[in-house]
Amino acid sequence: MKFETPAGTNPIDAMKVIGQAVDRVDGKLKTTGQAPYAYEHSEIPAKPAFGYVIGAGIAKGRIASFNAEEARRMPGVLAIVSAKNAQPLGKGSMNTAKLLGGPNVDHYHQALAVVVAESFEQARSAANAVRITYDRAQGRFDLVAQKPGAQPLTGNDADTHTGDFEGAFASAPVQVDQTYTTPDQNHAMMEPFATIAWWEGDALSVWTSNQMIAWNKRELAKTFQMPPDKVHVRSPFIGGGFGGKLFLRADAVMAALGAKACGRPVKIAMPRPLMLNNATHRPATIQRIRLGSTRDGKLTAIGHESWSGDLPGGGPETATQQTRLLYAAANRLTALRLAELDLPEANAMRAPGEAPGLMALEIAIDEMAEKLAMDPVKFRVLNDTQVDPEHPQRPFSQRNLVRCLEDGAARFGWSRRSARPAQMREGRWLIGMGVAAGFRNNINMTSAARVRLAGDGTVTVETDMTDIGTGSYTIIAQTAAEMMGLPLEKVRVKLGDSSFPVSAGSGGQWGANSSTSGVYAACAKLRDLAAQSLGMDPASVQFADGEVRAGNRSAPLADAAKSGELVAEETMQWGDLGRKFQQSTFGAHFVEVAVDFYTGETRVRRMLAVCAAGRILNPKTARSQVIGAMTMGVGGALMEELAVDKRFGFFVNHDLAGYEVPVHADIPHQDVVFLDEEDDKVSPMKAKGVGELGLCGVGAAVANAVYNATGVRVRDYPITLDKYLADLPEPV
């Protein structure tokens, strides 16, 4: 099925199951411990051995010597695999560095070997007995130092120019020209990278924790230089990913190498200190933003330049992408620059691009509003656009940013905010409010599903879509139930298996809308089969209350499969509506903070997100996504930062004791509002993604609230008290 024209009325519009705040269908499994995660599976052909990965002790250089003789003699040791004795490996297209290093070392904690033993403790003990010496090379670990040599990009990441930015900015009567920085950050998901791998002849099977099953299968095949049909990947439950598990990582490769070496299944779970340096992270950025405005508040020039770094062959943090679409201005410039660094690999972390980009842009917008003596909400509303600013002939499919801002302001009590900073006080606390726009592009991904109708009237959905804690099981079940006219309990959902049809996978805010569209397409085909089986006209039947109805005739849906199971498989593909209409999601974030006069301690007191993201498939699971994203935004604003040792090239705080993330005590009540809307130009579901939108803009809303409370502007994240304590107003 191909989505080529705006969606008309269809079975999803009944909204009997879709759109309802349904509890998670997998909730009981998770809360009772019955949902097996990657490290916990027992459906394997033999007793597993345990692997322990040895990470590089330098960031750049070569292995001078590798001595594992003592380790090999230790109790329980079955195999030690390194580049010296491993089979020749290829390299997947989606990882920048090799997942097995040696003799060259590309980054700190790059996997150099795996020790396999009968127990985890024996493997760990033997790994500590392996002696490696290095010839250390000079590395590049400081983005600021490498910034002058950063290079422009080509293709989709090339510089953009509209109008005469330089001329318009120079002549603008009101200007903002500021630089903002965001630090390296990590996903810090609860479940570690974990895999159980085994070989049956020349076929490889893995239980793993990965967001994108088809990508993982393809990359494993490339790495082991084998046919993809010889690789079986399963990942039915995932304990968080946030982009860190989009790609094949070293746990899967090292488990597979260890399993081949010892002839048994091998299970690996990465220790937390290895995770933060071995796997991917969000890279630091340096962002310069220039805004030019008329005195009455109309933006005439918008310029956004961003610098980030990655290993050679890597890519940039695309922090300018929202700036191309969020506000109107005739003269525009965006530019990305990429520096080569020898830090661990930089790659996607939740809402890559927009999340760090909005942390800078939405402070700059507030700074301009202050210069103009305009309310920040009104300034944003004044500069709204209903068309792509770079291509004015291309409208947005739907854009309700103004309503998000105005409805949010009314609900939050924005009128009580003091326009002059550091004026609202409660005892020893300075009180401030901040706002920021939220923006995240909509992405559609080809997605397929298989649906089966059994003789008892149950429908089973099979797709390799994953559930990373976001509610995929539930919204897919709701989609099938709505399409087939069944109660939710009559639908079974099977996910995360590469033997199932290839779906969108979980990432980029594309998962929900794309995967349910694939299920919609498969169910549309199953409806036709069921109608034909019952001798009814597929064009005129209705499916409701477990029955199939046409005119005066009706029959139980189960009767359609009396002669045998009906099976339908279909793929949802996309036409060119995404080129004709700019498809995006919008939001407004409001935050109230309190800052202690004496200590500088910042406490977030209230948060509100108003989201416009098409039809909301399940308000309960969508709200969970958004409040989780808002929490991550508080972390990015106030505490999250990978501390780089610029002498030796590693992240010092590589565990959850040193890498601080928000806990329950840091987060107040969070209010989430979804605008009632449907976007018929996006999909037959008329939905868009929402999870990452909940993060985009939150950091800036917190930063703007801290400024409103204290009168001290901090442009370098995270906004820790050492950056403003000395400049706080005197207590009164």
Domain count of the fold of the chain: 2
* Mean pLDDT score, 646-670: 95
- With 0-12 / 13-18 / 19 or more C-beta atoms within 10 angstroms meaning exposed / middle / buried, residue 4 is exposed
Same domain? 722 vs 681? yes
| Beta-strand pair 542-544/547-550 | antiparallel
Same domain? 570 vs 591? no
Q: Which spans in 413-558 are helix H?
A: 472-484, 511-533
Residue 206 near residue 196, CB atoms below 8 Å: yes
Give me the DSSP letters along 617-663: S-HHHHHHHHHHHHHHHHHHHHT--PPEETTTTEES--STTTS----
Side by side, which strands form the sheet with 131-136? Answer: 104-105, 61-67, 131-136
692 tagged catalytic: yes
Domain, as residue range, for 480: 2-20+444-577
Residue 91 has pLDDT above 90, yes or no: yes
Same domain? 617 vs 664? yes
Other C-beta atoms closer than 10 Å to the C-beta of 323 total 28
Same domain? 661 vs 563? no
Residue 549 near residue 484, CB atoms below 8 Å: no
C-alpha Rg value of the chain to the nearest Å: 27
d(CA 696, CA 356): 8
Q: What share of the chain is helix, strand, coil (3-state, %, to 5)?
A: 30, 30, 45
Same domain? 596 vs 559? no
Instruction: Share the mean pLDDT of the chain.
Output: 97
* Mean pLDDT score, 625-650: 98
**Per-residue pLDDT tens digits for 135-164:** 999 999 999 999 999 999 999 999 999 999
**Per-residue pLDDT tens digits for 523-577:** 999 999 999 999 999 999 999 999 999 999 999 999 999 999 999 999 999 999 9
Identity of residue 210: N
Contacts of 368 (CB under 8 A, 6+ apart): 174, 176, 291, 293, 299, 379
* Mean pLDDT score, 357-363: 98
Identify the residue whose tokens are 């990465």: 270
- Distances in Å between the Cα of 461 and the Cα atoms of 78, 476, 567, 569, 722 are 41, 8, 10, 10, 53
In a domain, 589, yes or no: yes
Same domain? 538 vs 564? yes
Same domain? 598 vs 700? yes
Same domain? 561 vs 464? yes
Residue 389 near residue 325, CB atoms below 8 Å: yes
Nearest to residue 681, comparing CAs of 6, 13, 10?
6
Q: Which of 562, 577, 592 is the last residue of a domain?
A: 577
Residue 654 near residue 644, CB atoms below 8 Å: no
In a domain, 507, yes or no: yes
Q: Which spans in 315-441 are helix H?
A: 354-371, 376-382, 401-412
In a domain, 509, yes or no: yes
Residue 659 near residue 186, CB atoms below 8 Å: yes
Residue 71 near residue 65, CB atoms below 8 Å: no
Distance, C-alpha 436 to centroid of its chain:
20
Residue 732 has pLDDT above 80, yes or no: no
Side by side, which strands form the sheet with 459-462? Answer: 2-3, 566-574, 447-453, 459-462, 491-494
d(CA 58, CA 648): 7
- Distances in Å between the Cα of 623 and the Cα atoms of 351, 515, 626 are 17, 19, 5
- With 0-12 / 13-18 / 19 or more C-beta atoms within 10 angstroms meaning exposed / middle / buried, residue 724 is buried
The SS3 of residue 336 is strand
In a domain, 282, yes or no: no
Same domain? 716 vs 594? yes
Residue 724 has pLDDT above 80, yes or no: yes
Same domain? 664 vs 718? yes
Q: Which of 522, 556, 577 is the last residue of a domain?
A: 577
Q: Which spans in 7-119 are helix H?
A: 27-31, 69-72
Residue 363 has pLDDT above 80, yes or no: yes
**Per-residue pLDDT tens digits for 304-316:** 999 999 999 999 9
Same domain? 563 vs 590? no
Which of the following is catalytic: 191, 362, 569, 692? 692
In a domain, 406, yes or no: yes
Identity of residue 347: N
d(CA 727, CA 424): 17
In a domain, 57, yes or no: no
**Per-residue pLDDT tens digits for 487-528:** 999 999 999 999 999 999 999 999 999 999 999 999 999 999
Contacts of 43 (CB under 8 A, 6+ apart): none
**Per-residue pLDDT tens digits for 372-422:** 999 999 999 999 999 999 999 999 999 999 999 999 999 999 999 999 999
CATH number at residue 573: 3.30.365.10
**Per-residue pLDDT tens digits for 595-624:** 999 999 999 999 999 999 999 999 999 999
Residue 80: both structure tokens together? 């030690």
Q: Which neighbouring-strand residues pair with 53?
A: 114
Q: What is the pLDDT of residue 164?
A: 98
Same domain? 591 vs 501? no
Q: Which of 555, 577, 599 is the last residue of a domain?
A: 577
In a domain, 625, yes or no: yes
Q: What is the pLDDT of residue 731?
A: 83
Counting residues of the chain whose pLDDT is more than 70, the rounded percentage is: 100
Residue 730 has pLDDT above 90, yes or no: no
HEC sequence for 517-582: HHHHHHHHHHHHHHHHHCCCCCCCCEEECCEEEECCEEEEHHHHHCCCCEEEEEEEEECCHHHHCE
In a domain, 206, yes or no: no
d(CA 589, CA 700): 9
